[in-house]
Structure 1
Amino acid sequence: EHHSKDLKAICYLVRALTEEFGLQGFEQGLKLLSEALNRFGVELYPSRKRGRDGAVEWLNHQFKLVSSRFAESAQSWDLVSGCISIIEE
């Protein structure tokens, strides 16, 4: 049985989680994205670097569009720090 491993679909899900749950959703989405990259690597679609870069650039742009909605607080900075750690892995 075959299952789709689409990086673009994961990025759309991260965006939806961010819209629905704010920074907590973004953090959870990044964990999912990180796990998919670690688990499936080159099996993810799109297989070409340009396509993968495009999906991540789209997600980055989408985050910039919604990030101004998040209230600044100690908790939000902790979540941002957690997101950065996920990205750096």
Structure 2
Amino acid sequence: QAIRETWGDETTFPDVRVVTLFLLGRSTDAVLNQMLEQESQIFHDIVVEDFIDSYHNLTLKTLMGMRWVATFCAKAQYVLKTDSDIFVNM
């Protein structure tokens, strides 16, 4: 939620169309998967694919994001992919 309310806020740049998405794989914990589905239904900004979300699958997550952009935002001029261990200074 913190990202949605700070640097990921889509209304920060009113003259530019900004889309903030959260790219995730599945958890091995069924309860977490259910919570993720509920959050996705509330915010409509989560994309989930069928792989275990782990450090070793970061390549899959990156490719997933690139496919999403190519499919739904093919004319985007800029794309920012970041992670929880990266600081975004705007």
Task: Give me the TM-score of the superposition, normalised by structure 2.
Answer: 0.31
Task: Give me the TM-score of the superposition, normalised by structure 1.
Answer: 0.32
Structure with the higher helix share, 1 or 2: 1
Structure with the higher strand share, 1 or 2: 2
Higher relative CO (Cα under 8 Å, sequence separation at least 6) belongs to 1
